[in-house]
Amino acid sequence: MNVFDFDHTIYAGDSTKDFYMYCLRKRVSLARYWPVQAWAFLRYGVKVIDKTRCKEIFYRFFRGLRDTGGFVNDFWDAHIDRIKPFYMELKRADDLIISASPDFLLREACSRLGIAGLIASVVDPDTGQYMGVNCYGDEKVRRFREECPDSVIDTFYSDSLSDAPLAAIARISFIVRGDKLLPWEDFQ
């Protein structure tokens, strides 16, 4: 099985940030969440709150969408072409995406790409509330082992060294820089 991070790995950019900017352009009234979002980022920066709580506060803007599913569909209509060509060349039937991005946002992209396997942060699309913790770092390994207990990662791809726990359990790992695949061990 090949396992891929999503943002900056097979998707050229950060899908959550791009989704936020897309929604903001379509619904300028979402700017009303800026003060609470800025306060959350400040508190996260000085380690008063953790990453999961910071993102949960940021995701309050979902409440202003009223039709998150419609926004997600429209977003992917406009952004699915940002999937990197190298992924389409490597694509296999048993691919698995493991990402910190919200599951409901990536589920639509995976569906369009024919990817059945997805492990991501479980977030309520209407409220922004997490149903667990942010799928990041060691949590990705925990979730992988929970959901795929008998599986082996043949090859792992990520843009971030924060995914070192997943790279450590894969047979082969690559760091993705743009469209280049570089051996993980070159970054240790």
Angle, alpha carbons 67-36-106 (nearest 5°): 40
**Burial profile 92-109: b = 16 or more Cβ within 10 angstroms, e = fewer:** eeebbbbbbbbbbbbebb
Residue 187 pLDDT: 86
Ordered by where they begin, the domains of the chain are 2-187 (3.40.50.1000)
CB atoms within 10 A of CB 114: 9
Residue 160 pLDDT: 96
Phi-psi region of 137 (alpha: psi -120 to 50; beta: other; left: phi over 0): left
Average pLDDT, the chain: 96
Q: If you average pLDDT over residues 11-17, what whole number do you get?
A: 98
Residue 168 pLDDT: 96
pLDDT at 111 over 80: yes
Residue 26 pLDDT: 96
Q: If you average pLDDT over residues 134-147, what whole number do you get?
A: 96
pLDDT tens, position by position, 44-103: 999 999 999 999 999 999 999 989 999 999 999 999 999 999 999 999 989 999 999 999
pLDDT at 188 over 90: no
Report the DSSP pairing between strands 2-4 and 153-158: parallel
Q: How far apart are CA 53 and CA 130, in angstroms?
A: 8
